[in-house]
Amino acid sequence: MKNYLSINDIDSLPNWVDEAIALKKDPYQFKEMGKHKTICLLFFNNSLRTRLSTQKAAMHMGMEVMVMNFGSEGWALEYEDGTVMDQGNSEHIKEAAKVVSQYCDIIAIRAFAKLKDRTKDEAEEVLNGFTKYASIPVVNMESSIAHPLQALADAITITESNTKPKPKVVLSWAPHPKALPHAVANSFIEMIKKQNVEFTITHPKGYELNPSITKGCAIEYDQNKALENADFVYVKNWSSYSDYGKVLSQDSHWMMTQAKLGSAKFMHCLPVRRNVVVEDAVLDGGQSLVLEQANNRTFAAQIVLKKILEHSNVFSAKGKE
């Protein structure tokens, strides 16, 4: 595997989950693999988990790590080809990506959706710009439309705590004061479609996600009905997709409560707004998996780095890359 841009870059999800669980038991077993290799983490948006867990994963693999908050520290980048750069942007992606490629062996990028222009967000100019012009592998640390490191961690977490042959998994929208991206929900859906589960999505009308991603999924507008007999409830806010980037509802009836959760396990990618998205009793209770999810981010990132290093070591040994 060269790049990890979406869940579709995983050749076998069950194998990757098993390998990640094995890495978790003995995290430094491949510490020689990344020796004298450097990963550069470029952040165009804030982070706690992604930044620290990806750094930790790289350290487990014996890699050196460079981190840059590009959004606040880097030059404003231009992505259009052939532009006369006489406005605010100082540096073109062509130079930036090629320069970063000279300093490291893997680039990881976080660049969220701006939620103003759907076509522009779906073009993924930052992630795709780096992928196009970098000469080294690229990892998606949450782009406009995907968060595949989170979804892989979620797959590990569900596998570890599942006790049933075919559990019921529900993705439930929850209210939020800000307009949030679709990336976490999109990648979760793409991941869960590859699992042997019964899956239902529930949200208010107007919050339908990209139909090409939800194709084939059950959508139930009655949250209580959707939650019946659930084993895992993944809660997440997202803004409207059809009325792009808009907050259409802040209806607190959609907040997850212990009463609604019943005996199901609770999941959320974090950060989470307490008593807006989910009540304290759920997060502070025994059914919450949020800390396990955050912990598994390290091993999701580590399996991704291992696959990339294996691929690049094979190619460099052959003198091909």
Ligand X SMILES: NCCC[C@H](NC(=O)CCC(=O)O)C(=O)O
Ligand Y SMILES: NC(=O)OP(=O)(O)O
CA distances from 106 to 40, 72, 204, 309 (A): 6, 21, 40, 9
* Residue 229 in tokens: 């007999």
Q: Which residue in 22, 48, 76, 99 binds ligand Y (CB under 6 A)?
A: 48
Look up residue 212 and give its amino acid: S
Q: Which of residues 239-298 bind ligand Y (CB under 6 A)?
A: 269-271
Pattern 1-40, ligand Y, x by CB under 6 A: ----------------------------------------
| Tokens encoding 293 | 């999810």
- With binding defined as CB under 6 A, does residue 56 bind ligand X? no
Please state the closest distance from residue 67 (CB atom) to ligand X, in A: 16
- For 295, the enclosing helix (H) or strand (E) is helix 290-317
Q: Is 150 marked within a binding site? A: yes
Q: State which of positions 133-152 bind ligand Y (CB under 6 A).
A: 142, 150
Q: State which residue, 10 or 269, has the beta carbon closest to ligand X.
A: 269
Look at residues 238, 280, 240 and name the one whose alpha carbon lies nearest to residue 256: 280
Distance between CA atoms of 69 and 293, rounded to whole angstroms?
24
Question: Which residue in 17, 11, 268, 27 sits closest to 160, CA to CA?
Answer: 17
| 185 counts as binding ligand Y under rule CB under 6 A | no
The one segment of 129-137, 162-170, 213-221, 268-276 that binds ligand X by CB under 6 A: 268-276
Which one of ligand Y, ligand X, none interacts with residue 248, CB within 5 to 8 A by kind?
none
The binder of ligand X chosen from 39, 57, 136, 180 (CB under 6 A): 180
Going by the DSSP 8-state scheme, the letter that residue 252 receives in this structure is G
Known binding residue 254? Answer is: no
Considering only the stretches 176-184, 208-216, 288-296, 305-313, report the one whose residues sit in contact with ligand X under the rule CB under 6 A: 176-184
129 binds ligand X (CB under 6 A): no
Is position 165 annotated in a ligand binding site? no
Within 135-174, which residues bind ligand X (CB under 6 A)?
A: 142
Q: Let me know: does 311 contact 288? Beta carbons within 8 Å.
A: no
- Is the Cβ of residue 180 or residue 256 nearer to ligand X in the bound state? 180
- Asked if 298 and 304 count as a contact pair (C-beta separation under 8 A), the reply is no
How many Å apart are CA 44 and CA 74, to the nearest integer? 9
Applying CB under 6 A, which of residues 38, 47, 249, 313 lies at the interface with ligand Y? 47
Distance (Å, rounded) from C-alpha 217 to C-alpha 315?
Answer: 39
**DSSP-based three-state secondary structure for 282:** helix
Residue nearest to ligand X (CB): 180
Query: Is residue 185 part of the contact set for ligand X (CB under 6 A)?
Result: no
77 phi and psi, to 5 degrees? -95, 145
Q: Is 50 annotated as a binding residue?
A: yes
What angle do helix axes 290-317 and 13-25 make, rounded to 10 degrees? 100
176 counts as binding ligand Y under rule CB under 6 A: no
Among 155, 171, 261, 269, binds ligand X (CB under 6 A): 269
**Binding-site annotation: residue ranges:** 47-50, 75, 110, 142, 147-150, 176, 236, 269-270, 273, 297
